[in-house]
Structure 1
């Protein structure tokens, strides 16, 4: 794949990948070795995190369609081989996170993929894209589960900064594009209909009431986590990639 033509995105947005599409590969180890190698690259290339997470679900029985999707990731990396995360200077070290989830995104079991980004100052410091182990019955429920995961990550980062004697001047903020989830964090007015997510509701709400966390609404077009939860068209993908600080590394 060293001389392959580049692709604009690591995964096509026009077709969802299923575990049952295509024919079983003759050489299973070739696919597994490629996925295993690219998992290490996800530590510095967040733009392929969702794609590799998706392809990792088919390690037991990879097919020809899965191998084509793997080749597309390699073609994308071929065209962006000099890209990396830009660590930017900042006058204040505020914590801010973006949380999102894609409802019933998996065509096989209808489980959702949740993800988050955490910024320290102007720089991205941690991120996650993970398929959840439960099936959510509403978009509000899955957004709230994703909020709880993001809040746990923020608590860990705050404890780490405390050990380093770095104090935050402002309350950490989580940006979510679901108005119901943001309202539920401050006031559980729909408590009777959200008993099945009661633990996550109380965990996040306790953080908000204790003024240790803020949950704010952000319009969907400015939700940066979309590239961690679903495949996107190239224009949207490039826009989010630029906002996250994944750019061409300067030549020395």
Structure 2
């Protein structure tokens, strides 16, 4: 690199600087930084998690300390106060950094604490998005997308601003980290990033209008005295009007708290509704196994069988029946994968009707377990009584 201003008089002709720190401006900068940080954490006696490589764990005298890092922002937690203080001192000596105290704001996520539990939301992120799009004074809307939408690539349709569309959808994808209610609709609009049309842009604007009226929504985490793992899976058969692929989704709860959720269009066309549900069960099962592994590494191994709710009897029967069916040849690997975990007692597949499943989800929402209005209006009162009137 060339010598910076003020040092040129000490350099001879054709002499340059040799760069020793590869932190900024290079493609391998993140890899170099994370490798350097990992070596430091191992030197302090921390073990890198196999479930999440950005998570570092250390056990001492029956206590545990956890550190999770995203680029150069990190969170330290645990029940070993002495080790946490020692880790801070080690990091200060090794790197140039500062302690911001108790976690309040992290990567655009607000963290609020009350007697009910810990509430996370992205209100500031939503307000910044509304200001950027000039929609601070827009009229809110009650739903993020029309029921039975028919979004697809139309022939010779009017095109939208591609750059603006990609920027808005990218922000919505990050926003869905604390907003499971928009996970499906964001997954739909993100399918048209390569060539957005006017109808797709209108769908994105509708999502932003929905966020205008629900900027205080987020996820509440509370202690319910158990770590029981539950999962709900569902799929729509041939829901995509363009290529007739199905969309499957799931969300998982640990101890009654919502921890992961996903909505994703399947890679192949399902020949029946049972097949679409079956593929959704396989993806939900993979998520349960990952959560089991992560809890085990944290020293909290699951004690019982995880329950995965499904509303399709045919998919459950295929999973439990050991007889080879001709109609399941193309999903044979998924079938054996699910059957193996059923026989091992890792999961069970109770049948739940769609209406009962929805009622159960709404009950948990009203009780403040999944969604809640934050920042004064509802989150710090009794959510059950206060939400009854609004519902």
Q: So what's the TM-score if we normalise by structure 1?
A: 0.89
Displacement of 1:222 in angstroms is 2.9
Displacement of 1:190 in angstroms is 6.3
1:193 is aligned, of 324, 327, 330, to 327
1:10 corresponds in structure 2 to 144
2:204 corresponds in structure 1 to 70
Cα pair distance change 1:15/1:162, threshold 3 Å: closer
- Over the residues paired in the alignment, what is the CA RMSD in angstroms? 1.9
Give per-residue Cα distances to partners, 1:92-149, cap 9 Å, x unaligned. Answer: 1100100111110000000111110100011000011111110010111111111111
Q: The residue matched to 1:149 in structure 2 has which SS?
A: helix
Query: Could you tell which deviates more after superposition, 15-24 or 73-82?
Result: 15-24
Give per-residue Cα distances to partners, 1:206-243, cap 9 Å, x unaligned. Answer: 1001111111111111335xxxxxxxxxxx9x948936
Query: Could you tell which deviates more after superposition, 82-91 or 71-80?
Result: 82-91
Larger RCO, structures 1/2 (Cα 8 Å, 6+ apart): 1
2:118 corresponds in structure 1 to none
Cα pair distance change 1:175/1:32, threshold 3 Å: same
1:165 is aligned, of 265, 276, 299, to 299
Unaligned runs of 5+ in 2: 1-134, 381-391
Unaligned runs of 5+ in 1: 225-235
Distance across 1 between alignment mates of 2:302 and 2:276: 29
Query: 1:1-252, aligned counterparts within 5 Å?
Result: 1-20=135-154, 22-25=157-160, 27-189=161-323, 191-224=325-358, 239=362, 242=365, 245-251=370-376
Cα pair distance change 1:198/1:163, threshold 3 Å: same
Distance across 2 between alignment mates of 1:179 and 1:162: 32
Q: The residue matched to 2:349 in structure 1 has which SS?
A: strand
Cα pair distance change 1:239/1:165, threshold 3 Å: closer
Structure with larger Rg = 2
Q: The residue matched to 1:208 in structure 2 has which SS?
A: helix
Displacement of 1:196 in angstroms is 1.3
Distance across 1 between alignment mates of 2:295 and 2:240: 36
Distance across 2 between alignment mates of 1:110 and 1:222: 28
Contact 1:103 1:139 in 2 (8 A): yes
Distance across 2 between alignment mates of 1:57 and 1:10: 16
Distance across 2 between alignment mates of 1:223 and 1:188: 27
Q: So what's the TM-score if we normalise by structure 2?
A: 0.58
1:233 corresponds in structure 2 to none
